[in-house]
Amino acid sequence: MATLPAWQNARTHGATLEEAARSARDVLDLLIRSARRHGEPIPAPERRYSGSLRVRLPASLHGRLAREAEREGVSLNQWIAARLAQ
């Protein structure tokens, strides 16, 4: 399945990832042509994020979080990402 979130979450699908992507491009083309024909605005592309975040912490907090991650058997990065996702 492929989703076009800028277009009221329009969805399409395909038997493979490539087919879903091709179908999404076709649907997007139709949506853009329709919007232009009706004088409707074309949504701006969504902003992309790198997935990288640098945070400075006091050394004591960093140590406490690292020890907690170690107790749970995961990397500090995985531990923080899991907590933020909660």
3, β-bridge pairs: 11
Q: Which domain holds residue 15?
A: 2-37
What pTM does this model have? 0.51
Same structural domain for residues 33 and 53?
no
> Number of structural domains, the chain?
2
CA 19 from chain centre, in angstroms, equals 20
Same structural domain for residues 86 and 53?
yes
In a domain, 44, yes or no: no
In a domain, 61, yes or no: yes
**Residue 79 clears pLDDT 90, i.e. is over it:** yes
In a domain, 56, yes or no: yes
User: In the chain, which ranges are continuous DSSP H helix?
Assistant: 17-37, 59-72, 76-85
pLDDT tens column, 33-61: 999 999 999 988 778 888 888 999 999 99
